[in-house]
Structure 1
């Protein structure tokens, strides 16, 4: 079984992001970048399936600037066999990424696509679902457990009422949640091995995909600072303030 694992290069989750002075976006100059944590979980799950003998090949994919090669090398250090970079300087929105991945799915013909449920930069939570729709594959989102059974996969997913288990016929798309696994620590020997693994670079035009942004960002602003809390002497005062000042009742 071949598995395709898309990974995204994002601002490291430990970094406090800053908004550009002109409000056009987030300032990422001289900021530490790393693999999206949800995608790291997806790579780890693919590697675990390979260790169980279910998967034979893991292909990591990233879409974006040249520096995304570093993210792909990290994925290969975790255990991916090879990587593909769809290189572009254009702003990539979820639909464009889904179309690029669809083109790669048609080319690579994987039996399983595992990706993070969302990226921590835009928090869109759309790419996996869009990819499933474009390819016509069944999807299992927010996976907290993945089991290969009877030529398909059982995906236990978190829903409002608890846990739901769905059985997917292959090929299928799975998006990973935080509780699926804990990614392994990348060792130095594996980092060195990753440098020798194949990494192919293609352009969106090579895949016949138009990545022109469809949504325009008008302004980015930091959230308003929270004011200090106050103490009230009694319930009547609390109700009065909620009604007259906060206007929530």
Structure 2
């Protein structure tokens, strides 16, 4: 744009900073943020600050941080298991968005990964006391011009036993090739075997298994998910794309994921 004489707009910088955030390009993102103000005279908005997502950065903001900024910090804290930042961000979010159950779940996720099960229970009780519920995960897949829907507790699909059997078989085979189930996503103090059983039944895995059974080898699999892909489903799908030689596209609540040859287009940062 610059070489063509076109001055970047605020929207341009939202895209640039978002790309740097997803790719982990911290120094490049900071340089662009500074250039936005100093070289182009663009005053940062909440969307720009949200992409920078660091606690000290939030302290230095010239505008009052909103849900997008605190939500970005909470999401990052979940990824990096930073309990201190997660607590700080969630405290603000509970005030700004008291009815957003997703914020409570992210905080509970962070506590669970840190092994703080008493805190997980406390957050769950807080969620219940406010009459809020976690949105159940649901995935859709289109096969032969028909939409098929899956939830983790779905026992009515005529192929459900076949799907579970295939997933168990694939999981065992992939473990021999390096796949490690990410059972930390299960917010219950259970044994490893039971946690593995739970994550293996996630709706996106059921949709994926359905696609493997009902599509041709050359046909890509396209799945839509109403929530963010969990770490285990993301890792599982990468392995499938490599060892089943399948092109898989998943649209979750955050972005598109394009899996091919064991690699995802998001660079494992979503």
TM-score category of the 2 structures, normalised to the smaller one: under 0.3
TM-score (norm 2): 0.26
TM-score (norm 1): 0.28
Q: Tell me which protein shows more strand as a share of its residues.
A: 1
Q: Tell me which protein shows more helix as a share of its residues.
A: 2
Q: Which has the higher contact order (CA 8 A, sep 6+)?
A: 1
